Each structure stands twice: as structure tokens, then as C-alpha cells.
A and B are shown apart, each in its own frame.
Chain A
Amino acid sequence: MGALLAELPALPLHEAGKYVAGAYIVVFALVLVYVAIMAVRLSRIERELGELLAQEHSAASMGHEASDPESTPA
């Protein structure tokens, strides 16, 4: 790593480097925030879908019991 850094062109991090780093970090942070928002949305969709599936499952099992009373144990 040290050898790689030594081979890199001279990066004037003490002068312009902070501005360049700032600009790139801003863009990266914006994308990161957006991805985080998307993750929250996705988890909400997943939760709602889970609720719907559970609802469907219970409705289906109730319907099955109602249509076939002999299959249930006495």
C-alpha cells in the first residue's frame, strides 16, 4: 500500500484536496442517502406483502375448513 501511494501522482491534499474530497463525498453521500431511502421503502413493501400473504393464507384455510367439514377432526 505504501509503495502504491508512493507511485501515485503528487496529490496536493493539503491545498485543493479538501475541496475535491468534499465534492466527491457530497455526491457519494447523496447516492447513499437515496439508497437508504430505497431500502426503507423496500422493507415497508416487504412487510405489507407479508401481511397480505398472511391474510390470504388465513382466509384460504378458513375457506377450506368451511367447505370440507368432514376433514376436520371431531
Chain B
Amino acid sequence: MYGKGLRALSISTVAVMAIALGLVFFYAPLEAEQGFLQKIFYVHVPLAIIALCGFVAGGIMAIQHLRTRDSRWDMRSYVAIHMSLIFAVATLITGSIWAKGSWGHWWVWSEPTLASFLIVFLLYGTYQPLRFSIEDPERQARYASVFAVTAGAFVPMNFIAVRLSTAYLHPRVLGSTSNLPPRMAVTFLVSLLGMALLYTTLCKYELTAKHTRAQLRALRRRAETRSGAEDASGAYARRPRSAAPSVAAPTIAAHTAGRPGV
């Protein structure tokens, strides 16, 4: 189900990423002030934008879960946030490297963009422990969705607050692409597209893996039921405690629904 189009998506991701790298190093001109160091911009900024958009997307998917009670939306929200966290780690590391090269410090606490991004990252860092602390899958999904919606609303608010702040030490990017020379703007937009494709591809891989695993579990349960391997307490059916959402395997459920004796 989730694996559909994965091959084409993977190929286009690799192609766009390769083009973006080519543009970064052989097409975009060197920036006047920072020179070669500014090349970090083409990886750091797209990573940050995609990570923040992913957090918001996770919130939107969580709204869908709360509206429909469909566990697939919870799974999508979980995967979007999980992937955004990985992108956020990469953003923080590349940002630190850029700060060290540019300002001479790995981290500048007085800079609002850095501090606010760290706050968002730490906020979402509690998402997984929150999920893991709740054993009941139904409650886990509901509470996680409420968290994702609240935190997802916090992300744009935080972004606006930082832009309204008076300190402008950190370079402004979003909304000022027109200020970039055309060759830099093209390179940036291709890098952004490449990063968006990478995010989508990795999310799709994760969803496909989780869905396949759920189907495999359902198959195993069926096989165990048939062979009478179930013990008296029905222990085989118990799901191990996990932060990851539990998803139904609709294909197998639908397949077995009409069969007598299954």
C-alpha cells in the first residue's frame, strides 16, 4: 500500500540531490562576505525548513487522526514527527558547524533563531517518551495526537515570534529569496526540492516497513492460531510495549474476514 511509487520517488530523490550538489559546488557563485563557507546555507536552511514543515504536517495528520480515529493517520503523524526530529538533529549540527566557521562559536545563546529552534527540537524530543509512557495503544495514539496538534501549532507561532524580535544577527532566508542573486536562488530552490523529496522518500520507506511488519505480525498470529500454539492466557496476541503506533493490517483482516473458522 505504502510502497507504491517508492522506486520512482527514490530515483527522483537521488537525481535531484545530485543536481543540487552539482549546482551548489559548480554553479552558485561564492558569496562576497562568507565566501566558500556560505555553501553550508544550501544544506542547513532546506533541512530546517523541511524539519519545521514536517512538524506542522505531523500536527495536521494528528488532527485527521482525532477526527477519524483511523490509526493510519496516527502512524503517518508519528513517522512525520520522527523524520522531522532526524532532520532537526542534522539542522542543529550543520548550524553549529556554520556558526563555528562564521562567528567563531559553536553556539550563540543570544541568537533567537538558534534558541527557538532548540526549544522546538527539545519540545518534540519529549514526543517519543510520551508515547512510550502510555501502554494502552488507543490512549497512546490519542494523547500523542493531542501533543502533535499543540506542538504543531507552536511551530509557526514560534517562527513568527522570532521574526518579530529585534535582533537580526541570524540571516533571514524565508521570504527573501528574491534578495538572492538568480544563480543562488535557483540552487537554493533545487536544494529545497531535493531535501523535500528526501524527507518524503524516507517517510515512505518508514511507513512501508511499519506496514509490512504489521502485516507480518498478523500473518504470524493467524499461523499460531491455526497451529494451536496459543497458550491458555493468549500471550501470543499481546503487543510488546512500544512508542511506535500499532497499525491494523487491513489487507489480512479483509482477507480473513469472509472466511469461516478463521
**Chain A contact residues, CB within 8 Å of chain B:** 8-9, 11-12, 15-17, 19-20, 22-24, 26-27, 30-31, 34, 38, 41-42, 45, 48-49, 52, 55-56, 59
Contacts and interface: CB of A to CB of B under 8 A. Distances in A.
Given A19-B101, A26-B93, A52-B223, 14 more contacts: A12-B36, A17-B36, A20-B36, A20-B39, A20-B40, A22-B97, A23-B94, A23-B97, A23-B98, A27-B90, A34-B86, A55-B223, A56-B223, A59-B227
Contacts of B157: none
B89 interface: yes
Interface string B29-44: 0100011110110011
A55 B26 CA distance: 56
Interface stretch (B148-156, B169-177, B212-220, B245-253): B212-220
A52 B219 contact: yes
Give the one of A9, A15, A19, A23 with max B CB within 10 A: A23
Contacts, number: 74
Interface string B223-249: 100110000000000000000000000
Interface of B: 25-26, 30, 34-37, 39-40, 43-44, 47, 86, 89-90, 93-94, 97-98, 100-101, 198, 202, 205-206, 209, 212-213, 216, 219-220, 223, 226-227
B202 A34 contact: yes
Given A27-B43, A31-B198, A55-B223, A19 B213 contact: no
A65 B104 CA distance: 77
Given A30-B86, A52-B220, A59-B227, A15 B36 contact: yes
Contacts of A12: 35-36
A38 B210 CA distance: 11
Given A12-B36, A16-B36, A34-B202, A42 B209 contact: yes
Give the one of A27, A30, A49 with max B CB within 10 A: A27
B111 to A, nearest CB: 18
